[in-house]
Structure 1
Amino acid sequence: MSPVRRVLVLGAGLALLAACSPAPAPSASDSSGAAAASITELDYYADEQGSAAWQKILDTCSAQTGVKVQRQKVPTDQMLPKILQGASSKSLPNLLFTDNPTLQQIAATGALTPLTDYGISTDGYYPSIVKAGTYQDKVYGLAPGVNGLALVYNKDQLAAAGVEPPKTWDDLKAAAAKLTKAGKYGLAFSAIPSEEGAWQYLPFFWSNGADLSRVDSPEAVQALQYLTDLVNSGSASKSVVSWNQNDVADQFVAGNAAMMINGSWNLARLDEQKSLHYGVVPIPVPHAGGKPVVALGGEVGAIPATGGAGQQAAGKVLSCVLSEPVMVQWSKAHAYVPSKTAVAEKFAASQPEMQAFVNEVDTARSRTAELGEKYPKVSQALADALQAALTGKQPPEQALKTAQQASGS
């Protein structure tokens, strides 16, 4: 489905939802009876398509709750600094939608309120999604939908080479080698020195039994050695150290890579290419019969402690965003997986290209589940190790020893 069609479907679906919904709920009130007519909201959906889709979500929930939403959006890299500054100066908006790994760091400031204060239940959610929004045993954030990584492959290139979509690391290594020829690579992925690179390494790291408390374990070293060997053998380009995930998609669309590790959000872009026939399978695992452990992506809604009627009104809007009809519409528009298990299973039946992503959520892991607000430091250490190993500056074992020392995990 093209990006335009995804947004059109969202608009049509939300229009129907609004038409069929009950009359707007009364505005939230504080203990003195004063009504909150509007709230402020902050997110980082700054790209044109994502911003338009999210605005439709907010408009629908505004109509249902009777609460006007005054939205502010900022680029992704400015989001966390802005929130932490707002937490310090007690000037946060009423409602936040932030990247899930940042939730615990924000909650640690004491700026957020538990979602149970607003009657928001976690029943039916994937456990990993609940963990992503939990800090010190209280749920401070929940996501309407999540994303993750999978292996996307060019059906025509694999068929021409007589290659089946890989399921294990050995399969992937053999397939990538066979598909590499004449300046074209078997596999593309991102290994830039940031969270994006660490996020792409984590499925190999976790699926091999490593954990973030000891990033230089034998299992971690084996996972990094595997990726290093793919680059050194020529099956993946040395340029992976400078490709972000959009660059990886560019290489795949151009036919320069037969397979790629990428996220569901890029499917709309692939759908625009009428001559491109692609398939999606879970990320290959070390051994047959295993299940991949990918990092859980996506944004969580959280309610800062702003006091009074605005805080309660934000709870009404967030409850709407987390309602199942809105959850499905957002997932369709943004190529996300609905956060509730039963909803996701139905969603996959109607969106077959999302099946692999849905399958992976059950074993997906919150990046902050092990380390809480300490995760960002460990993530950067892993990204630096990935760079060091893939550029040949250090062998994988030494690169991860350096990462362990730097992270202090």
Structure 2
Amino acid sequence: MRQPRRRPHRRVIVPLTVVSALVGGVVLSGCGQQRDADVYTVMNSSTDESYHRWDAQTLARCSKTLGVRIEQQSVPASQVMTKALRMASSKSLPDVLQLDASEMPTFAEAGGLIPLKDLGLTTKDIPEGIVNFGSYDGKYYGAARTVNTLALFYNKDTLAKAGLEVPTTWAEMQATAKTLTQGKRYGLALSAGGAEDGVFQFAPFMWSNGGDETKLDSPQVAGALDYWKALLKDGSLSKSTVNWTQADVNDQFMAGNAAMMINGPWQVESLNAKKGLNWGIAQIPVPKAGDDSVGPLGGGILTVPNTGDEAREKMSARIIGCMSGEQEQITYAINSWMVPANEKAAAVWRTKAPELAALADQVATARSRTAKLGAQWSSVSLALQSAFQSALTGESSEAALKRAQQQVTSGN
């Protein structure tokens, strides 16, 4: 998720059969490319100048530590999967491949990745939810340096002027948003666009209400969607919500057109750059007091492609170990406003970024979108996108979600 700091890109969904054919070919035939024994390549999506520079600094430190040269190859996030598949077909895969966690299961299912524990890496001091974030079918394939999730951002001055507290429950948020909706200003902004942005934002409402991606037509999922519809009916959400990306939501908040928003830490730098904007952050409200606020984990994970060259694969794992070391996580998290994946690193980070403590609390209960469905998540995501777009423009939640479940079940 990226820009202005980590604006989410639309990702290309590649059929598993295509991935299996391309990846299987390179695995069966071996590496197939002569490589400089002391030069290793990390392919990532750090095309933003700041992120590219930070990663270059990390790789320079790891190069010195490990005694090898590590080069960075950055491509847009939306192109990582297709680029990796082209490289697989030409037997020129990088030594370390950074994937979005939602893409990793497809590559892993096709046999394209080596389990990291087989290469000597452990999950010590990593919370279970983050281990699952980098796992597929019970095997740990991807190490996260930092993770992100969603939270409630609010304009402190606007709430204070209205004499309102930060909402913690759905009822409180609905009432607060309705009160703060005045003139051109909406009480709340969120993304319900027909892409992964919208699904990412719907997930905390679905999960916190007890819903599950394995049964889209359940009352719990319908209840979450009905809550969105109620906010829209109240006028607390703009009708343009169905077209907004998360970047659009941030633009509305910064312009004063929304008193609160659901968004992620990739927006923090732009928020801080806005003069006069006095903002705060809190966990996303829950259906009733005492419930866990369960958001989706986001971010990239570092994987080792299966090239057939065991010696290089072992060094690749050492590179990942260095990049995801505690101090490197802290440095990267402070730069990027993300949360370290390692518990010890996260504890240090909290002392250095206390204004984002609520985000760390949100991460503690967050979970991976692909934990239950693996590579099948993409089909559920597409079905959900269609469902809430239809429901927010007039169809009943029950009918829209029933069709979505049928779509997933039939595979159409």
Say whether the fold is shared (TM-score over 0.5): yes
Q: Tell me, yes or no, if structure 1 residue 281 matches structure 2 residue 282.
A: yes
Structure 2 contact 137–374 (Cα < 8 Å) conserved: no
Aligned to 1:97, the other structure's residue is in SS state strand
C-alpha distance in structure 2 between counterparts of 1:288 and 1:89, whole Å: 55
SS in structure 1 of the partner of residue 103 of structure 2:
helix
1:63 partner letter: K
Contact 2:150/2:263 (<8 A) preserved: yes
Give the superposition deviation at 1:226. 0.3
The equivalent of 1:272 in structure 2 is 273
After superposition, where does 1:54-133 map in structure 2 within 5 Å? 54-133=55-134
Cα deviation, 1:58-80, whole Å, max 9, x if unaligned, reads 22222222221222211121112
Q: Secondary structure at the match of 2:167?
A: coil
Instruction: Give the distance between the partners of 1:208 and 1:236, measured in 2 at CA.
Output: 20
Q: Deviations 1:368-391 (Å, cap 9, x if unpaired)?
A: 111111001101111111111112
Alignment partners' CA distance in 2, 1:391 and 1:242: 11
SS of aligned partner of 2:296: coil
Q: 1:380 aligns with which of 379, 382, 397?
A: 382
Partner of 1:69: helix, strand, or coil?
strand
1:211 corresponds to: 212
Residue of structure 2 in register with 1:197 after alignment: 198
Q: Deviations over 1:338-368 (max 9, x none)?
A: 1112321231122112211110122111111
2:59–2:71: 8 Å Cα contact kept in structure 1? no
CA deviations over 1:40-71 (Å, ceiling 9, x no partner): 22111222222222222222222222221222
Matched residue, 1:316: 318
Is 1:349 equivalent to 2:374 in the alignment? no
CA distance in 1, matches of 2:192, 2:64: 43
Q: CA RMSD in A?
A: 1.7
For residues 289-304 of structure 1, the aligned pairs below 5 Å read: 289-304=290-305
Alignment of 1:35-54 (within 5 A): 36-54=37-55
Letter in 2 for 1:258: A
Asked if 1:371 is matched to 2:396, the reply is no
Give me the whole-angstrom Cα distance separating, in 2, the residues matched to 1:401 and 1:87.
Answer: 39
Please name the residue that 2:148 is paired with: 147
Residue 153 of structure 1 deviates from its aligned partner by 0.2
Q: Which runs of 5+ in 1 are unaligned?
A: 5-33
1:35 Cα deviation from its structure 2 partner: 8.2
SS of equivalent to 1:142: coil
Give the match for residue 396 of structure 1: 397
Secondary structure of the corresponding residue to residue 172 of structure 2: helix
Q: Equivalents in 2 of 1:125, 1:242: separation in Å? A: 36
Amino acid at match of 2:303: A
Residue 305 of structure 1 and its aligned partner are, at CA, apart by: 1.6
**Structure 2 vs 1, CA of residues 101 and 141 (structure 1 numbering), >3 Å: closer, same or farther?**
same
Give 1:309 deviation, angstroms.
3.6
Match of 1:337 in 2: 339
Change (3 A) 1:223 1:207: same
Q: Say which SS state the counterpart of residue 326 (structure 1) adopts.
A: helix
How far apart, in 1, do the equivalents of 2:129 and 2:358 lie?
Answer: 17
Q: What one-letter code is carried by the residue in structure 1 that aligns with 2:225?
A: L
CA distance in 1, matches of 2:185, 2:322: 47
Instruction: Answer whether contact 2:143 2:320 (CA < 8 A) is retained.
Output: no
TM-fit CA distance, 1:308:
4.3
1:87, 1:109 within 8 Å by CA — same for their partners in 2?
A: no
**Alpha-carbon shift at residue 175 of structure 1 (Å):** 0.5
Q: Note the C-alpha offset of 1:89.
A: 4.8
Q: TM-score, normalised by structure 2?
A: 0.88
Which stretch of structure 1 is more off in the superposition, 255-264 or 45-54?
45-54
Residues matched between the structures, number:
377
Aligned residue for 2:365, secondary structure, equals coil
Amino acid in structure 2 at the alignment position of 1:135? Y
Aligned partners of 1:252 and 1:193: how far apart in 2?
Answer: 20
TM-score, scaled relative to structure 1: 0.89
> For residues 218 and 293 of structure 2, what CA distance do their matches in structure 1 show?
19
Letter in structure 2 aligned against 1:185: Y
SS at match of 2:188: strand
How far does the alpha carbon of each residue in 1:298-350 deviate from its partner, in whole angstroms, 9 at most, with x for none?
11000012214432221221110111000100111111111112321231122
Task: Report deviation, 1:294.
Answer: 0.3
Maintained 8 Å contact 1:382/1:400: yes
Q: Is the 8 A contact 2:181 2:235 kept in 1?
A: yes
Contact kept, 8 Å, 2:119 with 2:313, in 1: the verdict is no
Counterpart position of 2:229: 228
Please state whether the residue corresponding to 1:72 is helix, strand or coil.
strand
Contact 2:136 2:371 in 1 (8 A): no
Q: Is the 8 A contact 2:330 2:348 kept in 1?
A: no
What residue number does 2:238 align with?
A: 237
Q: Secondary structure in 2 aligned to 1:46? A: coil
* Cα distance in 2, alignment partners of residues 147 and 141 from structure 1: 15
Partner of 1:167: 168
Deviation at 1:207, TM superposition (A): 0.3
Bigger mean CA deviation after superposition, 82-91 or 37-46: 82-91
User: What secondary structure, in the 3-state scheme, does the structure 1 residue paired with 2:102 have?
Assistant: helix
Q: State yes or no: 1:328 paired with 2:330.
A: yes
**Is the 1:345–1:358 contact (alpha carbons within 8 Å) kept by the matching residues of 2?**
no
